[in-house]
Chains A and B, each alone.
Chain A
Amino acid sequence: MSAVDQLQHDVLVIGGGGAGLRAAIAVAQEHPDLSIGIVSKVYPMRSHTVAAEGGMAAVIKDNDSAEDHIYDTISGSDWLADQDAVEMFVAEAPRELIQLEHWGCPWSREATGHVAVRPFGGMKLQRTWFATDKTGFHVLHSLFQTCLQFPSITRYDEWFATKLLVDDGRCQGCTAIELRTGQLRPIYAKAVIIATGGFGRIFPFTTNGAIKTGDGLAMAYRAGVALKDMEFVQYHPTGLPGTGILITEASRGEGGVLRNNKGERYLADYDLGEPLPLDDPRHPQLRTMELGPRDRLSQAFIKEQEKGNTYSGTYGDYVHLDIQHLGEHRIDTKLPFVRELARNYGGIDPVKESIPVRPVVHYMMGGIDTDIEAATSLPGLYAAGECACVSINGANRLGSNSLTELVVFGARAGRNAANFAHTSDPAAVDRLTSQVDGERDRIRRILEQPSGGDRVAELRREMTSTMEEGAGIYRTQEGIEQTYATLSDLRERFGGVDLDDRTNVYNTDLISALELDYMLDISLALAASARDRTESRGSHQRTDHPERDDDQFLKHSLAMRGDDGTPEVSFRDVVITKWPPGSRTYGSTDQAKAAKTES
């Protein structure tokens, strides 16, 4: 191929969701001389940022303070967040949200014309900006439409990135399959940003869309970058049984309550404070009951299930989320999507009935190990958004911090990658040829594999099933080891995977196989990290080690891919600045007490 045909950029972004688009715009605005590529396996407006509902946290109101947002985030993380990162995140958040506002995001407003805020779980004050209950949709479309104005951005829509190109200790691009032709091509760059989102699809029951398969994590992992805190999986307490479709936490922020099969507001039994009557003007209380953090609410569901206090249905057990008392007008203005989803996919109208809900895999706290600058250990490689782990989320992310994370760290990744590209040489194309050829061979082998092996869907089903069994809300040594063994077996069997589709154009069977290959790698890393963290913290609950153990585990886990392809786990200290580990208390009185003793 001649030099003219080469695909080459200064900065290459892999992933066209909220973080990737924000990163690309940061480069385009601040360095108009740099050429930018965005590789995305779907058209950017299909990215899963689109499905985020409730809102986006940033301190903007006079009654709020950065200190409060920092404390909520750190205590919500069960002290596993790096405090320097949280301080920076909270400081940069308001500016980034105003930036989105200036780019046209249709935030819901107060009568004065200022943006409105709503309560959210684990937050002591109302600080969640929202665009009804379609916040992610509006944020994604605003970013995508904004990015269209920059001539320096070239998009590779429906190109599936497969491998990072690394030479001389520096990331210099990736290979990607153009879906409409089936061609694998190298795209060279001076700096690369991974922004491929989460990987909820390693579990059977998830709010995540089909595309959330963690390709970017696996690519970084295979290039020698560690995956951090992989054992921390967020179950959102309110998903629709069957489909796993999310019913936003904003429904509780607006005053919705959870009840068991006896009609009781059962959260009162789980150290989350006292319930107030629904007509009490103080309801819903912040950091209390239904506005507790997600890990604690999902764990409470399992306990209720064990007590026989849940309903049972075709798709497993569930409890009731009741928003009827909000009334039709408020539901239609603040939670229109909840009503639409409950009607279409739950078969009930929440204006007249309670919504059946159960915990569902929603978000991954873990991801590609990055520092506060969004840089990885591999020079020239950056990561931002759900695929990355800085960490500001620690052992449990607070609702409405993740969309904010996309823009704060997306912008940082963009600026830092641009600066790196400015002072770097172009990719050493000649020296990367053998890597590109090797990748072409790897994919051809999968495509031309003789018949007789397992189908992609069967291996995927077994993988998701063993993840739920061994790495769900409550875990044991034995269960995790069994899951690890099953994954290792699936890893072997993947070598003989048998495709139905052997053609080139838009071969989604092949793409599913490649996604499965990546998911197996990161599932193994997750299982190994969960096995080695012998304590309970936030979303990682070990029934055989039920207490938090700060002496041994006030540390991030780091899973590196060993020479034989299996994960090796080590640990690194958490950064503590001003908030020494304390007890994590919720419920209005407890919280006031805790704030006093700790501050």
Chain B
Amino acid sequence: MSTAIETMVKFEVFRYQPDWDEPTYQVYDVPYREDWVVLDALNYIKDTIDGSLTYRWSCRMGVCGSCGAMVNGYPKLTCAAFLSEYLPGPIRVEPLVNFNVERDLVTDLEGFMEKLESVQPWIIREDGATDDLKSEYLQTPSQHAAYQQFSMCINCLLCYAACPVSSHSEEFIGPAALALAQRYNLDTRDEGVEQRRDVILKDEGIWECSFVGECSAVCPKHVDPAGAIQQAKMTGAIDYYRRLLMPWTVKS
């Protein structure tokens, strides 16, 4: 900041509105600060150059999951993408791929919200209706550790942008939602594995998932959705043979 001549970084930002024939890239010059992230640059543009630039953000500390975008072609939380990693620029910012664009960097999340709901991501208990709330369900630290990683997903959807199956199949439930299903399936307090089985195993997408692991590589919270999907496939396959060979062991 003490430099006499300010270093500037060029930003090429994807612009689109529904009544336009095609998107464009708009170029902005932004002063370089070594502690700035891409989100700071977007806010600088919006506040001082162009108030019409449209994007989502809130917490700016990597936990609300709003601000995902493609930064130089790679899915990132813009609040965690430091300018210093992209010098000397230009830095290209585009909406997350594999989603429809509403405007500029804002993508359509409705499809994801339906997928999230479809895996029934809540505790299912046979005693649910008679729950008296007198004491907690016990869960040891190692039981907690079994699902803990899969409970860290912030729904930022970087994994959908990275997923080769999602790129050609809109129906695929996808990495985040499947990891969440696994999170509940592995929770000792939950009794809903059976209820979730069909929606997961009938999804053609999970059998297409080739464990390239791009989803886990881009995850800013180290959730490892690829691992969750492989676990789900494994239990799915075991379950299939068990039903076939030992039907008496399977609850209908």
Contact = CB atoms under 8 A, between A and B. Distances in A.
A498 to B, nearest CB: 9
Contacts of B134: 98
26 contacts: A42-B58, A43-B109, A51-B63, A98-B136, A102-B131, A102-B133, A106-B148, A106-B151, A108-B141, A110-B141, A111-B140, A113-B138, A115-B136, A145-B121, A148-B117, A148-B122, A149-B122, A209-B59, A209-B60, A211-B58, A243-B61, A245-B61, A344-B62, A455-B51, A501-B51, A505-B103
Contact of A148 (B65, B121, B190): B121
A145 B122 contact: yes
A50 B141 contact: no
B47 to A, nearest CB: 4
A470 B51 CA distance: 29
B181 to A, nearest CB: 11
A341 interface: yes
A27 to B, nearest CB: 17
Contact of B50 (A111, A141, A500, A503): A500
Interface in B155-184: 155, 180, 184
Contacts of A500: 50-52
Q: Report which residue of B47, B120, B147 has the largest number of chain A beta carbons within 10 angstroms of its beta carbon.
A: B47
A452 to B, nearest CB: 15
Q: Report which residue of B104, B121, B180 has the largest number of chain A beta carbons within 10 angstroms of its beta carbon.
A: B121
Tell me what chain B mostly uses at the interface: helix, strand, loop, or mixed.
loop
B138 A134 contact: no
A599 interface: no
A148 B48 CA distance: 40
Interface string A301-334: 0000000000000100000000000000000000
B51 A50 contact: no
A103 B123 contact: yes
B113 interface: yes
A98 B133 contact: yes
B66 interface: yes
Interface in A222-257: 242-243, 245-246
A251 to B, nearest CB: 15
A48 B102 contact: no
Nearest to A456: B51
Contacts of B63: 50-51, 134, 137, 337
B58 A112 contact: no
A157 interface: yes
Given A104-B189, A109-B139, A506 B122 contact: no
A132 B175 CA distance: 24
A157 B58 contact: no
A361 to B, nearest CB: 15
A180 interface: yes
B135 interface: yes
Interface residues of B, number: 60
B154 interface: yes
Interface of B: 1, 17-18, 35, 46-48, 50-52, 54-66, 80, 102-104, 106, 109, 113, 116-117, 120-123, 125, 131, 133-141, 143-144, 147-148, 151-152, 154-155, 180, 184, 187, 189-190
B133 A104 contact: no
A506 B107 CA distance: 11
Interface residues of A, number: 62
Contacts of A101: 136-137
B120 to A, nearest CB: 7
Interface in A485-512: 499-501, 503, 505-509, 512
Contacts of B141: 108-111
A46 B58 CA distance: 7
Given A109-B141, A112-B138, A102 B50 contact: no
Contacts of B66: 42-43, 46
B215 to A, nearest CB: 19
Given A45-B155, A211-B58, A149 B51 contact: no
Contacts of B113: 43, 157
Interface string A113-154: 111000000000000000000100110010001101100000
Nearest to B138: A113
A51 B212 CA distance: 32
Contacts of B57: 210
A-B residue pairs, 7 tightest by C-beta:
A500-B51, A113-B138, A457-B47, A501-B52, A209-B58, A145-B121, A209-B59
